[in-house]
């Protein structure tokens, strides 16, 4: 595990100052944020080329995960569904996730309410992963990884144009959100092997929603990790294109360096 770990931390970091952990389980990486009582980030352990199936071993070796602290777990996976708040019924999670992807073995379901309870984000993890995490953390809460992006977009909705497409690309995956007149029209996770796939899905959304190619604005979050995506590239396909980063609700104690190399949405903004 050691050769896959990159550590970012305050120059005054002390394990005893940590009050809780936020874990972000990406398809091929695991990001562990240690936070103090004021919710400032003290330390980040970033593991690459690793997935949630290896958490059981990681819990035994990683110094942050060995701390006896409450933990928030954010799972970036295809197993999620957005359900209008008025239609959501507790206990129907298996129905909502029926077409979301491959069904987890003995699934453990969890939901998050967004947009003043107008939207429920329903997701699941395997019973085995839930058991692994519950055996380590006495206080545990689960969220789908999309809730950070969605919570930010809902906060920013009144700064959006009438036709907006916003994407966050990571590990050959892409979250794509489309807003029509500041209301969420589409949100989904796509598999993208390269620039052609990114363009394909954006153009599909423009066509399906009958957006005007002369007016729709296309925004890409945290593109610094994808060298092929730049302003010139975007403007060669879209009349209204921008590269953006989320405004920050995350604070860092003194001494953090080179955080942008992680290319994570959650460096700036996390659901809380």
Please state which of the ranges 77-81, 161-165, 205-209, 260-264 shows the lowest mean pLDDT: 260-264
pLDDT digits (tens, 9 = 90+) for 20-44: 999 999 999 999 999 999 999 999 9
Q: Check: CB of residue 44 under 8 Å from CB of residue 33.
A: yes
Which residue ranges make up each domain of the chain? 2-75, 80-144, 152-244
> Which helix (DSSP H) or strand (DSSP E) does residue 201 occupy?
helix 195-208
Q: Match 């104690």 to its residue by tokens.
A: 253
Q: Check: CB of residue 114 under 8 Å from CB of residue 151.
A: yes
Checking if the pLDDT of 1 tops 50, the result is no
Tell me the two tokens of residue 27. Answer: 């398809």
Checking if the pLDDT of 230 tops 50, the result is yes
Mean pLDDT of the chain: 92
CATH dotted code for 2-75: 3.30.420
What three-state secondary structure class fits 19? coil
Q: How far apart are CA 129 and CA 169, in angstroms?
A: 25
pLDDT digits (tens, 9 = 90+) for 181-204: 999 999 999 999 999 999 999 999
Checking if the pLDDT of 103 tops 80, the result is no
Q: How far apart are CA 206 and CA 249, in angstroms?
A: 31
Query: Which residues touch 199 (CB under 8 Å, ≥6 apart)?
Result: 237
Confidence grade of residue 225 (pLDDT, cut at 50, 70, 90): low
pLDDT digits (tens, 9 = 90+) for 129-173: 999 999 999 899 999 999 999 999 999 999 999 999 999 999 999
Q: How far apart are CA 187 and CA 191, in angstroms?
A: 14
Query: Which residues touch 119 (CB under 8 Å, ≥6 apart)?
Result: 82, 83, 84, 85, 113, 150, 184
Give yes or no on whether 2-75 and 152-244 have one common fold: yes
Question: 152-244 falls under which CATH superfamily?
Answer: Protein of unknown function DUF3822, C-terminal domain (3.30.420.260)
Residue 2 burial by CB count (10 A; 0-12/13-18/19+): exposed, middle or buried? exposed
């Amino acid at each position: 595990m050691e050769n896959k770990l990159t550590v970012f931390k305050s120059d005054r970091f002390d394990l005893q100052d940590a009050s809780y952990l936020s874990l972000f389980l990406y398809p091929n990486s695991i990001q562990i944020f240690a936070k103090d009582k004021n919710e400032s980030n003290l330390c980040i352990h970033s593991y690459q080329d690793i997935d949630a199936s290896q958490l059981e071993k990681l819990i035994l070796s990683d110094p942050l995960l060995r701390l006896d602290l409450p933990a928030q777990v954010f799972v970036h996976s295809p197993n999620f569904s957005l359900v209008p708040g008025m239609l959501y019924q507790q206990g129907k999670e298996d129905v909502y996730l029926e077409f979301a992807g491959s069904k987890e073995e003995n699934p453990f379901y969890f939901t998050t309410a967004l947009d003043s309870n107008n939207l429920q984000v329903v997701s699941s993890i395997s019973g085995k992963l839930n058991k692994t995490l519950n055996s380590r953390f006495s206080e545990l809460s689960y969220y789908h990884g999309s809730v950070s992006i969605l919570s930010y977009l809902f906060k920013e909705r009144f700064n959006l144009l009438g036709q907006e497409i916003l994407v966050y690309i990571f590990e050959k995956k892409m979250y794509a959100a489309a807003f029509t007149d500041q209301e969420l029209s589409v949100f989904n996770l796509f598999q993208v092997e390269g620039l052609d796939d990114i363009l394909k899905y954006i153009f599909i959304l423009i066509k399906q929603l009958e957006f005007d190619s002369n007016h729709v604005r296309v925004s890409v979050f945290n593109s610094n990790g994808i060298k092929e995506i730049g302003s010139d590239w975007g403007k060669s396909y879209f009349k209204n294109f921008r590269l953006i980063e989320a405004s920050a609700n995350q604070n860092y104690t003194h001494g953090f360096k080179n955080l942008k190399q992680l290319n994570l949405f959650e460096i700036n903004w996390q659901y809380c």
